Amino acid sequence: MTFSDLDRAARAPLRTLTKDNAERVGRHLVMVGRLIDDEPELAYEHAQAAVQRAGRVDVVREAAGLAAYRTGRYAEALRELRTVRRLNGSSEHLPIMADCERGLGRPERAITLAQEPEAEALAADAKVELAIVVSGARLDLGEPEAAVATLSTAAVRGAKGMLAVRVADARATALRAAGREEEATAELSRFTSAQLAEASGGVEDDEDEVVVFDLDDDDETGETDGGHGETDEHDDEPSDDEPSDDEPSDDEPSDDEPSDDGAEHEGHEARGDAGEGERSESGNSEGDR
């Protein structure tokens, strides 16, 4: 496993670091990508090691947010992905952010996020992912017919591949909640049991051997980047004095405060495709977002 294994687009932001630090951070990011599906806790450790060395780099905070999401640390994931949004202006992780709100027991906020103008600029698949989350949020609020309607648009029904299977699985859940059992059965009849199991996380990916980069190689003090301003703290977000469209409300956890993720509810197990959330039976969004 080498730095060159890192995606080219992810290497570019690391150019702000010294060569040695960029090499270490890049190797940690490679391991996050390799482990996040099968060993998310270890992926989370690698992401944290990368943050200690390069906490001001957006791809590093993105990896930390996705790993936190995949391990059920929803408050932490939400903070990290808000930070990414401030650093690079991208809203590509809105589906995961919305699902984090669901995971924290705040489905109404998930729906609010989905109604932001930035949601209209998402890629087609991301819009479908967001619809799955919103459908689950509607179910959380006891609105099954609204959940069905969310997944009944032409854009959502036109999803392809495994995303189409996941839409059907989420739609069947909503139909059952609405008392429409026959329609739910018909919804799932178009797919094999293997496809449905994979969509719900029941099928493991290829069991390639993974060589784990020893985390003990990094000293515990959080080595800096040698002059580029990286620290081993999480206090590197933009100042709270700067205006931000997605600043959390007073009752949300601050980006600079440690969270207690122990209060986060079960049933929002993450999965993802390249970092997008994996959904539970009730239809919430991946990590693989």
pLDDT of residue 1: 67
Name the pLDDT band for 200 (thresholds 50, 70, 90).
Answer: confident
Rounded CA separation 31/24 (Å): 11
- Helix 58-70 and helix 74-88: axis angle, to 10°? 160
pLDDT of residue 9: 83
pLDDT higher than 90, residue 66:
yes
Quickly tell me which residue has 């790993």 as its tokens: 67
Say what the pTM is. 0.70
Residues 6+ positions from 173 with CB-CB distance below 8 Å: 139, 184, 281, 282, 283
Name the pLDDT band for 207 (thresholds 50, 70, 90).
Answer: very low
Name the pLDDT band for 224 (thresholds 50, 70, 90).
Answer: very low
pLDDT of residue 7: 81
- Torsional class of 271: left (φ above 0), alpha (ψ -120 to 50), beta (otherwise): beta
Rounded CA separation 169/193 (Å): 11
Mean pLDDT of 50-72: 96
Mean pLDDT of 26-54: 96
pLDDT higher than 80, residue 89:
yes
> 18-90 and 91-202: same fold?
yes
pLDDT higher than 70, residue 212:
no
| Per-residue pLDDT tens digits for 248-269 | 444 444 444 444 444 444 444 4
Q: What is the CATH number that goes with domain 91-202?
A: 1.25.40
Residues 6+ positions from 118 with CB-CB distance below 8 Å: 91, 94
Q: Comparing 190 with 206, which gets the higher pLDDT?
A: 190
Mean pLDDT of 118-146: 97
**Domain layout of the chain by residue ranges:** 18-90, 91-202
pLDDT of residue 104: 98
Mean pLDDT of 128-135: 98
Select from 53, 124, 48, 56 the least CA-distant residue to 276: 124
DSSP assignment string, 55-84? TT-HHHHHHHHHHHHHTT-HHHHHHHHHHH
Rounded CA separation 27/230 (Å): 17
pLDDT higher than 90, residue 68:
yes
| Per-residue pLDDT tens digits for 97-113 | 999 999 999 999 999 99
Mean pLDDT of the chain: 79
Q: Which CATH number fits domain 18-90: 1.10.10, 1.20.120, 1.25.40, 3.30.70?
A: 1.25.40
Joined tokens for residue 272: 């993802």
